[in-house]
Structure 1
Amino acid sequence: MADPVVEFFDGLERAESTVLPVRVNGTARFDLNQDGETDHWYVAIQEGAVSVSHEMRDADVVLNAERGFFERLVTGRANLFASLLRRDFTVEGNLQLLMPIERILPQPPGAHDPRAFAPGRNDRT
């Protein structure tokens, strides 16, 4: 069975460059806890391009979460900001980077891009 966390991070580097605005620059570290161990994922965003590693180094923002919760986040079954308000995870550092992080997370299953329903578009399905 595929690991959704690994698939998410592997897919970040291959994602279209249009996912993030070019002006986005920063680093994020995701500390994922499971069974008393912590797995680190370091994400560097430079002018919209993303690189991922397992480095344990300082980052502009650090998100600390249980791995099971993060699996729900990367499969679109949890919302970043609603989960933050519920304290499902903790975050330290530059909170402004949460907006670009939210953009790289998948939408809930069955969700549609609202731009598809914008006035003047004829491709509604």
Structure 2
Amino acid sequence: MTEATERFFESLPARAPGVLRSPVSGTIQIALSDGGQTVRWLVHLRPGAIEVSRDRGPADAIWYTSEDLFDRLVTGRAEAISSVLRNESSFSGDVVLFLLFRRFFPDPPGTRDPREVARAQAGRLR
């Protein structure tokens, strides 16, 4: 497992209050494989808080992906929804948890909010 992935999971509890503002709660298991071995993370999401462990347990959703792809996700070089749509990873269970969890991934480098781009364009037209 890469250092970026380890740091990502370690950072989740501190970042949760700013990301988890909806009333959704549940547990997602993330299974990261590197070919012959699978590492699992159990992530309990609730409004404003998150708990992360390496335990196995019941989960409302399971996301299967490679360690390499997950490393690209945590560094902003890939996008979660795109990876599922391209069959690079798979997901089963409560899709709302997947959509909520993906908010923790950084935007790709150079990404700008379209509203900011529109405001800048509108300012130039005046």
In structure 2, the residue matched to 1:123 is none
Equivalence for 1:91:
91
Q: Distance in 1 between matches of 2:44 and 2:74?
A: 18
Unpaired runs of at least 5, structure 2: 120-126
Displacement of 1:110 = 2.5
Q: TM-score, normalised by structure 1?
A: 0.84
| Counterpart for residue 109 of structure 1 | 109
Q: Please tell me whether Structure 1 or Structure 2 has the larger radius of gyration of its CA atoms.
A: 2
CA distance in 2, matches of 1:103, 1:96: 11
Matched residues, number: 118
- C-alpha distance in 2, partners of 1:117/1:50? 33
**CA distance in structure 1 between the aligned counterparts of 2:101 and 2:114, rounded to whole angstroms:** 19
**Aligned counterparts, 1:4-15, within 5 A:** 4-15=4-15
What secondary structure is seen at the aligned counterpart in 2 of 1:15?
Answer: helix
Asked if the contact 1:65/1:89 (under 8 Å) is kept, the reply is: yes
Whether contact under 8 Å (2:25, 2:47) holds in the other structure is yes
Q: Structure 1: which 4+ aligned runs deviate by more than 4 Å?
A: 113-119
- The alpha-carbon distance between structure 1 residues 94 and 67, as it changes in their structure 2 partners (threshold 3 A), is same
- TM-score of the two chains, using structure 2 as the length reference: 0.84
- For 1:122, the equivalent position in structure 2 comes to none
CA distance in 1 between counterparts of 2:86 and 2:106 reads: 19
Query: Is the contact between residue 45 and residue 51 of structure 1 (CA under 8 Å) also seen in structure 2?
Result: yes
User: Residues 88-124 of structure 1, C-alpha deviation per residue, up to 9 Å, x if partnerless?
Assistant: 01111111212111211111123234565685xxxxx
Q: Which runs of 5+ in 1 are unaligned?
A: 120-125
Where do 1:20-31 residues align within 5 Å?
A: 20-31=20-31
